[in-house]
Chain A
């Protein structure tokens, strides 16, 4: 296993979601490659010292999303399809847009700390609320 996972208890985000995002991110950046094997549920749970249900839930949701393939008795394997690669492109585009936005907010006189707080506050809205707006 050559990927580091960092789970924190201070964000308002369930641990299984953090784990899912980090695995997805690793696949997008290429830290995890197609066919790579992830540790078993027990092994990863012991390593991260989290409930095995947390790992199981993250794995099964990722399997549902098509990013992992769970094989009976032999573990979890990464399957990076074209869709995931294009996600990496999306992330790049998003970063450029964010950079522009941050630049504009700085020009408006906002401090970095204020931008960060506003950004984090927005992220805490559930996805539907944002869409409605």
Chain B
């Protein structure tokens, strides 16, 4: 895709004292895509999202969201009108009813779309008179989404949206995200749930320990990531397989296991040249890619 990225950062860094939460992040998110931002708890996902939204000031580096600089107060205000954000803890006032919450939030936005709000209220089957504090987690998520979507955002950013939802709730959430993407909304969401990301995401970013380790389309990852299991009569030294694309090599007696992010054919060819008696190439699931990447780091 050649279109301008909706999110772009250069060397974005955030340190708290001597601890770096995000280190030299170069992120690029394409429009009209669903991008998943994966990482363990504490990897720096939320800090990154907050920097993008202008809620946390970067220690160094820069970035733009929808072409507007994240550190410029004026441009940030403009950007926040076009971007909707669903925070991890979904802060809502427990004493208000669903209906009161919607009315309250709508008063802050001049471009509020009451028609969308009432359509979603119906679709999500939210009880208007119910107090927020007595809503289930799934309903709270739906309400938070409704509040974000009634502003017709160009970009929707969600921080761990499925946190605390049961499998049915997660399936609903993913369906909602898919429907939004079909309407042309660009979606950027953080998660540590691989299974939910694997189906809906077009693009994957893996963050670990503040660093961006993977930034690729899921199709690419699926097609190029391979685990190659080799058996040798006399095992060659591991360095024979240290070629471009090889991420990791494990040896056990006569067996060797090579993880390649690309170039699997070259590994296979080399194995044949080194007289491997068995060569098995297998695809690697996203879960394994994630665990391998994080282990490497």
Confirm or deny: B78 has a beta carbon within 8 angstroms of a beta carbon on chain A.
no
Known contacts A12-B223, A51-B34; A124/B178 CB under 8 A: no
Are the CB atoms of A46 and B178 closer together than 8 Å? Answer: yes
Contact of B283 among A46, A48, A124, A129 (CB under 8 A): A124
Are the CB atoms of A53 and B198 closer together than 8 Å? Answer: no
- Of the stretches A3-11, A64-72, A73-81, the one at the interface is A3-11
Taking the nearest CB of chain B, how far is it from the CB of A15, in angstroms?
Answer: 7
Q: Give chain B interface residues in 252-283, CB to chain A under 8 Å.
A: 264-265, 268, 279-283
Main SS of chain B's interface residues? helix
Known contacts A16-B219, A41-B182, A45-B182; A53/B285 CB under 8 A: no
Taking the nearest CB of chain B, how far is it from the CB of A128, in angstroms?
Answer: 9
Are the CB atoms of A53 and B199 closer together than 8 Å? Answer: no
Are the CB atoms of B202 and A53 closer together than 8 Å? Answer: yes
Q: How many residues of A contact B (CB 8 A)?
A: 27
Q: Give chain A interface residues in 83-133, CB to chain B under 8 Å.
A: 117, 120-121, 124-126, 129
Known contacts A15-B199, A53-B32; A121/B281 CB under 8 A: yes
Confirm or deny: A31 has a beta carbon within 8 angstroms of a beta carbon on chain B.
no
Confirm or deny: B292 has a beta carbon within 8 angstroms of a beta carbon on chain A.
no
Confirm or deny: A49 has a beta carbon within 8 angstroms of a beta carbon on chain B.
yes
Confirm or deny: B201 has a beta carbon within 8 angstroms of a beta carbon on chain A.
yes
For residue A46, which residues in chain B have a CB less than 8 angstroms away from its CB?
175, 178-179, 182
Are the CB atoms of A42 and B182 closer together than 8 Å? Answer: yes
Contact of B200 among A12, A50, A120, A121 (CB under 8 A): A50
Taking the nearest CB of chain A, how far is it from the CB of B172, in angstroms?
Answer: 10
A124 to B268, CA, bound (A): 11
Are the CB atoms of A10 and B283 closer together than 8 Å? Answer: yes
Are the CB atoms of B219 and A14 closer together than 8 Å? Answer: yes
Are the CB atoms of B222 and A49 closer together than 8 Å? Answer: no
Are the CB atoms of A124 and B226 closer together than 8 Å? Answer: yes
Taking the nearest CB of chain B, how far is it from the CB of A50, in angstroms?
Answer: 5
Are the CB atoms of B265 and A126 closer together than 8 Å? Answer: yes
Are the CB atoms of B279 and A121 closer together than 8 Å? Answer: yes
Contact of A42 among B179, B223, B286 (CB under 8 A): B179
| Interchain residue pairs with CB less than 8 A apart (27) | A9-B195, A9-B199, A10-B283, A11-B222, A13-B223, A13-B283, A14-B219, A15-B219, A16-B219, A42-B179, A42-B182, A45-B179, A46-B182, A49-B174, A49-B200, A50-B200, A51-B34, A51-B200, A52-B181, A53-B34, A53-B181, A53-B202, A120-B282, A121-B279, A121-B280, A121-B281, A124-B264
Going nearest first, the 6 A-B pairs with the smallest beta carbon separation are: A12-B283, A14-B219, A42-B182, A9-B198, A52-B182, A124-B281
